[in-house]
Amino acid sequence: MRAEPLTTALRDIDADEGILQAVPSPLFTEEERSRFTEDFANAVRGSTQRSYAGAWKRYSQWLQQTDRKSSAFDAPTVGVYLSTLGRTHSLSTVETARAAILDKATSTAGADVHALRTNPQVMRALQGLRATKRRTSTPRKARALSKEELTSLLRSLPDNNAGKRTAAMLTLAVSIGLRSSEVCNLRVGELSFEENGLLVTLRSTKASDLPVTVGVKSLPLAEDGSPSEFDAIVRLRRWLHAYRSLDGVTSASPLFPAVSRNNVVRISSTPLTPQSITKIMLTVAGTACVEQERLTSHSCRATFATGAFKARIPLAEIRRTGRWASNAVFGYDRSSALDSSASDWLAS
């Protein structure tokens, strides 16, 4: 008797919980089904799963509005949706939508994933959409903050829970070039205060699924003996002293939770999002009279790279601390072309 493909041992994914339900089958033991189900579910990271869930929800609403629910995984339907979405949303949103639909099709009985992925009409339409978007879009890279701007932001923060959290978040992010997703995913227990600094363990990064530990050194004291305004370790100690005094905070709690307008810390397992970090930064920038144009959650990473390059930190050190696996690090340097001293050799 020929064994059925392993994929036939799966049904669809529960729309709300994203939990795979294995089909009882005499061909597979309970342990085999359990291992396969676990590996299948872990193939996509948690942050990506959340992005896919949002994209699928938007697609489901469109299917319902256009009475196309029965053809959710038909290539023409998907192609028309992506083309429609591209008229009002960014190219990255369209790409995420396509990936979410393919991911859902992978775990849905009867859906032909290969045909959907390789359909020539859909591929051609996407190619045209990409070309159009690239011709008409204006690059909007997140800008870096100057030291003076960062100082203004920090000094404008109130001495309350929201202010302490934001100060700790900003200084840590610019100290080691945290990605916005890394800021969101950090947990309280992933910090280890040492005698001469701080160790930050990142469970996974864009460049690696393996945990990475990054060191943060204490900064020299100011002339008057007070801590440096940019010292992330001091800022984090102040924030954690206030945060850990609250009921319900554990080592698994988000390091940087949401704080309400009434200064109430929202203790939950739900972390901030890159969008909410951008909103926080824009609000603080408005208070501090700092230019808000192109200021996003990714500005902290750009600030780290730009500052490190200006300080002539060796490239290998910048890449190691900032966890860049390639020379993409050069794209984060927002220095002016006139800041370069390489052309000064004639003056020597």
29-52: pLDDT as tens digits: 777 777 776 776 666 556 677 888
Which of 14 and 262 is assigned the larger pLDDT?
Answer: 262
**Would strands 20-22 and 197-202 be described as parallel, antiparallel, or unpaired?**
unpaired
Whether the predicted pLDDT of 4 surpasses 70: no
What number of other Cβ atoms are within 10 A of residue 284's Cβ?
22
Cα 329 to Cα 114, 236, 277: the distances in Å are 35, 26, 22
Whether the predicted pLDDT of 91 surpasses 60: yes
Kindly state the average pLDDT of the residues 156-179: 94
Res 47: pLDDT: 65
What number of other Cβ atoms are within 10 A of residue 183's Cβ?
23
Contacts of 219 (CB under 8 A, 6+ apart): 227, 228, 230, 231
What number of other Cβ atoms are within 10 A of residue 201's Cβ?
14
**Would strands 197-202 and 212-217 be described as parallel, antiparallel, or unpaired?**
antiparallel
Res 157: pLDDT: 94
Closest among 278, 160, 171 to 286, alpha carbons compared: 278
For residues 177 and 202, what is the distance between their CA atoms, to the nearest angstrom?
A: 12
* Contact (Cβ atoms closer than 8 angstroms) between residue 154 and residue 170: yes
Which of 21 and 279 is assigned the larger pLDDT?
Answer: 279
Res 132: pLDDT: 80
Q: Which amino acid is at 108?
A: T
Q: Using the structure block, give the residue that is written with the tokens 């023409």.
A: 76
DSSP 265: B
DSSP tally for the chain: helices H, then strands E: 13, 5
189-242: pLDDT as tens digits: 999 999 888 999 988 666 666 788 888 888 888 888 888 999 999 999 999 999
What are the sequence ranges of the domains in the chain? 44-136, 147-336
Which stretch of DSSP H or E encloses residue 213? strand 212-217
Res 254: pLDDT: 93
Residue 301 tokens, joined: 């990473």
For residues 93 and 55, what is the distance between their CA atoms, to the nearest angstrom?
A: 8
Architecture in CATH for domain 147-336: Orthogonal Bundle (1.10)
pTM check: above 0.75: no
244-259: pLDDT as tens digits: 999 889 999 999 999 9
What number of other Cβ atoms are within 10 A of residue 26's Cβ?
5
299-340: pLDDT as tens digits: 999 999 999 988 888 988 988 888 887 777 777 776 654 455
Res 240: pLDDT: 95
Whether the predicted pLDDT of 7 surpasses 60: no
Residue 164 tokens, joined: 């302490």
* Chain centre to alpha carbon of residue 264: 25
- Select, from the ranges 44-58, 131-145, 179-193, the one with the highest average predicted confidence (pLDDT): 179-193
